[in-house]
Amino acid sequence: MWKYIARRTVEMIPILIVISILTFLFIHFIPGDPARLVAGKDATLEDVENVRHELGLDKPILKQYMDYMKNLVTGELGTSLTTGLPVIDMFKTRFMPSLHLTFLSMFWATLMGLVIGVLSAINKNKWPDYFGMVTAVSGISIPGFWLGLLLIQLFSVQLGLFPTGGLDGFSSYILPSLTLGAGIMSMIARFTRSSMLETLQADFIRTGRAKGLKEHSVIVTHALRNSLISVVTVAGLQFGFLLGGSVVVETVFSFPGMGRLLIDSIAFRDYPVIQSALLLFAFEFILVNLIVDVLYTVLNPKIQLNS
């Protein structure tokens, strides 16, 4: 397994290089002139050209790319065109909150999703199943911003239990993670249910029952474990998405995460921030995929990682 992990880590490098080239080209060729956006609406052409020169945007594209990659190798992500602050400083303050929010949201969403999915599957077509699936459909259907505002109105304004927003300790994570987790919990619940239903039809389950295994052992040790492959895949993908930040939840809760940082930098064509953020998201996704692949072997030892 370690050889496999090492190999996948090395394979990351050419993928990231290709992504860096594609994102660099993409953001430089979309319409919008960062020099003018930074200089402001009452700038004269001379002002705009001064800004362009000051920001190094008048250099040939290839030179700009090589400068960026040279700096990247030394861990230098450049300076934001809008704030003038080092990009790495901006990431440090935004990335950790996003990471914690992701973990918390995924934790309760996965737990609740599994519980609801399993209970629905083993009580198919009875009221726990209906209740579980109505919850799941609601979770996916309710728009995030609406749920967030509703939670703020109830738990912050009326009951005063949680802050209305910002980042002020652990309590600031509760409402945003509930909002973010709702849709994910629903997806995991549905995947778990359908996967469990399929597995529960298998011969080995019938055999286990016939052998006299306790029911909870049949469900948890055997059925659930074999159903988790598809659930882990979905959860992994969701985890990757969440790490990129969630603009809607961050806006509603004024949460200083990566999502809003990226949206704001796109509006201002803040090239260094956009480039580094996209590269970071790509790296996170590749890493998450690797972890999911390794998890498969934990769940089903028959699955072999080809080395």
Partner 1 sequence: MNYVKKLVFVILCTLLLAACAEKDNSNASNTGDKSTTDSGTASSKNELVIAVNENFISMDPHNTGDTNSSSVQETMLEGLLGFNADGQIIKVLADDYSISEDALVYTFKLKEGVTFHDGEQFNAEAVKVNIERIMNDESLRLYSRGFSLISDVEILGDYEIKVTLKEPYGPMITRFGVAKMISPKMIKENSADIPKKPVGTGPYKFVEWVQGDHLTIENFDGYWDGGERVAKITYKPVPENGSRVAMLKAGDAQVIYPVPAQNIDELSNSKDVEVNKVPSTIAHYVSLNTYKKPLDDIKVRQAFNYAVDKDAYLKVVNAGLGLPLDSIIPSKTVYYKQQKMYEHNIEKAKELLAEAGYPDGFDIEIWGNTNSDTMKGMQFIQQQLGQIGVKVEIKSMEEGTLSDEIYGAQTPDDAKLQMWYVSWSAYASDITNATKPLFHSVSFPPNGANTAYYHNTEADQLMDEANSISDVDRQAELYEKLQEIVYQDTPWIFLGVDEVVYGVRSNVSGVLVNPTGGLDVKNAKVE
Give the H or E element holding residue 73.
helix 61-73
Q: Which of 39, 36, 86, 20 is nearest to 273 (CA)?
A: 86
For residue 69, the minimal CB distance to partner 1 (Å) is 24
The residue range among 18-26, 160-168, 190-198, 272-280 that interacts with partner 1, by the rule CB under 8 A, is: 160-168
Neighbours of 259 (CB within 10 A): 22
**Closer of 26 and 137 to partner 1 (Cβ):** 26
Q: 6-45: which residues touch partner 1 (CB under 8 A)?
A: 30-34, 36-42, 44-45
Could you give the maximum distance between any two Cα atoms of the chain, in Å?
85
Q: Which of 11, 58, 67, 168 binds partner 1 (CB under 8 A)?
A: 168
What whole-number distance in Å separates Cα of residue 52 and Cα of residue 282?
Answer: 29
Q: 175-194: which residues touch partner 1 (CB under 8 A)?
A: none
For residue 74, the minimal CB distance to partner 1 (Å) is 19
β-partners of residue 86 are 79
245 Rama sector, left if φ>0, alpha if ψ -120 to 50, beta otherwise: left
- For residue 209, state whether it binds partner 1 (rule: CB under 8 A): no
Neighbours of 222 (CB within 10 A): 19
Q: 274-303: which residues touch partner 1 (CB under 8 A)?
A: 298-299
Q: 60-99: which residues touch partner 1 (CB under 8 A)?
A: 82-85, 89-90, 92-94, 96-97, 99
**Closer of 123 and 251 to partner 1 (Cβ):** 251
What whole-number distance in Å separates Cα of residue 279 and Cα of residue 57?
Answer: 20
For residue 18, the minimal CB distance to partner 1 (Å) is 26
Q: 228-247: which residues touch partner 1 (CB under 8 A)?
A: none
What whole-number distance in Å separates Cα of residue 105 and Cα of residue 116?
Answer: 16
For residue 227, the minimal CB distance to partner 1 (Å) is 12
257 Rama sector, left if φ>0, alpha if ψ -120 to 50, beta otherwise: beta
Q: 101-140: which residues touch partner 1 (CB under 8 A)?
A: 101, 103-104, 106-107, 111
Q: Which of 260, 263, 238 is nearest to 249 (CA)?
A: 260
Query: What is the C-alpha radius of gyration for the chain, rounded to an integer number of angstroms?
Result: 24
- For residue 143, state whether it binds partner 1 (rule: CB under 8 A): no
- For residue 216, state whether it binds partner 1 (rule: CB under 8 A): no
Q: Which of 60, 170, 212, 216 binds partner 1 (CB under 8 A)?
A: 170
Q: Which of 113, 117, 165, 176 binds partner 1 (CB under 8 A)?
A: 165
Q: Which of 264, 287, 293, 305 binds partner 1 (CB under 8 A)?
A: 264
